[in-house]
């Protein structure tokens, strides 16, 4: 899980490098989904995990692909382009607050005092980040809007993950949703000529910070309980913001730092066992690192149908 958090944390560095070469955010999102999707398709085919148990599940996969891949990947890269890596990653971690609100609206989950607290902390944190700014960080309507869109669309991983991980191995899920997400982005993409260096960065973003990161995360989940996935939730933004400060000179001001701390605190609170009602329908009952819904205690153990006993 630590490896997964680091690999996700360096994603912003790869994306910033591709953006500087003139490739647009939507094209980066397309190639991330397409190349990583190709890797998962190959993996799933080799392991014999390329089929859906029920054709009726395809609609849910398509919906998740459009929200959790097309919208999420695009909004994250648009946030990086508009405001920088640090701002994008802090706003991404507003996702647990979105989960609490969406679960109350869509799944009729009770908005407990603990969940209300994390929503308040995340909201206050976003306000302070937006007002505080910083050096090398461009806080504006577009950067904040796309960052919050990334957090909201990432929330679909928590909600969708509770349902789908009881039925399918992670490699099957990503072998289906990543290619569909790439197809959803395709009509919006304007392709640019790319150098060998740009292709190298795109490949690293897709294969290292997406394909390998997912595999590392799910391999870790086979050996530790889901609640300890909070490790990823604290490592990833720290890696992303530290690298952005070192490589790109991005630094929050005091108010921005306070806001970032509140947003990250809300993500940690969301993973605390005492916060959550132990309900099978509660999406906060299985905390995860960004882009990876975790396997909860109610989900089938490794080696049984649904998750598989091999490497994800």
Question: Which of 149-158, 185-194, 217-226 is modeled with the greatest confidence?
Answer: 185-194
**pLDDT tens profile 129-148:** 988 888 889 999 999 999 99
- pLDDT-based confidence at 111, cuts 50/70/90? confident
Phi, psi of 252 (to 5 degrees): -70, 150
**Is the distance from CB of 118 to CB of 96 less than 8 angstroms?**
yes
Per-residue pLDDT band at 277 (split at 50, 70, 90): very low
> What's the full length of the chain, in residues?
312
User: Helix (H, G, I), strand (E, B), or coil: what is residue 233?
Assistant: helix
Q: Which of 178, 221, 167, 72 is nearest to 80 (CA)?
A: 72
Average pLDDT, stretch 266-274?
Answer: 72
Share of the chain above pLDDT 70, in %: 83
Q: How confident is the model at residue 275 (pLDDT cuts 50, 70, 90)?
A: low
| pLDDT tens column, 144-167 | 999 999 999 998 887 787 778 788
Residue 123: which of 262, 298, 306 has the closest Cα?
A: 262
Give 273's pLDDT tier (boundaries 50, 70, 90).
Answer: low
Q: Domain ranges in the chain?
A: 2-285
Exposed (0-12), middle (13-18) or buried (19+): which is 166, by Cβ within 10 Å?
Answer: middle
Strands 134-135 and 251-252: antiparallel
φ, ψ at 298 (rounded to 5°): -80, -10
| Lowest-confidence segment of 90-99, 112-121, 197-206, 271-280 by average pLDDT | 271-280
Map residue 168 onto helix, strand or coil: coil
Angle at 188 between CA 35 and CA 150, to 5 degrees: 70
Give the CB-side neighbour count of residue 267, counting CA atoms within 13 A.
33
Residue 58 pLDDT exceeds 80: yes
């Amino acid at each position: 899980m630590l490896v997964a958090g680091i690999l996700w944390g360096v994603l912003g560095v790869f994306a910033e490098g591709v953006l500087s070469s003139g490739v647009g955010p939507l094209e980066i999102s397309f190639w991330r989904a397409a190349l990583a999707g190709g890797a998962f398709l190959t993996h799933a085919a080799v392991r014999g995990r390329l089929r859906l148990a029920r054709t009726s599940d395809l609609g849910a996969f398509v919906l998740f692909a459009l929200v959790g891949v097309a919208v999420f990947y695009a909004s994250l890269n648009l946030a990086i382009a508009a405001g920088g890596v640090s701002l994008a990653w802090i706003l991404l971690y507003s996702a647990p607050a979105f989960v609490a609100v969406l679960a109350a609206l869509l799944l009729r989950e009770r908005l407990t005092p603990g969940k209300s607290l994390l929503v308040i902390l995340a909201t206050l944190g976003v306000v302070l980040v937006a007002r505080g700014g910083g050096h090398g960080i461009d806080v504006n309507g577009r950067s904040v809007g796309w960052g919050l869109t990334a957090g909201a669309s990432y929330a679909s991983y928590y909600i969708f993950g509770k349902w789908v991980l009881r039925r399918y191995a992670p490699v099957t899920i990503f072998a289906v949703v990543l290619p569909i997400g790439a197809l959803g982005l395709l009509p919006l993409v304007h392709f640019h000529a790319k150098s060998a260096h740009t292709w190298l960065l795109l490949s690293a973003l897709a294969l290292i910070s997406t394909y390998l990161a997912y595999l590392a995360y799910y391999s870790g989940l086979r050996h530790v309980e889901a609640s300890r996935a909070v490790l990823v939730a604290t490592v990833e933004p720290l890696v992303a913001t530290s690298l952005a400060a070192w490589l790109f000179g991005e630094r929050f001001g005091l108010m921005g730092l306070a806001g970032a701390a509140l947003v990250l605190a809300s993500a940690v609170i969301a993973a605390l066992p005492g916060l959550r009602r132990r309900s099978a329908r509660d999406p906060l009952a299985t905390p995860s690192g960004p882009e990876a819904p975790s396997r909860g205690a109610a989900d089938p153990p490794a080696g049984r149908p649904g998750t598989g006993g091999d490497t994800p």
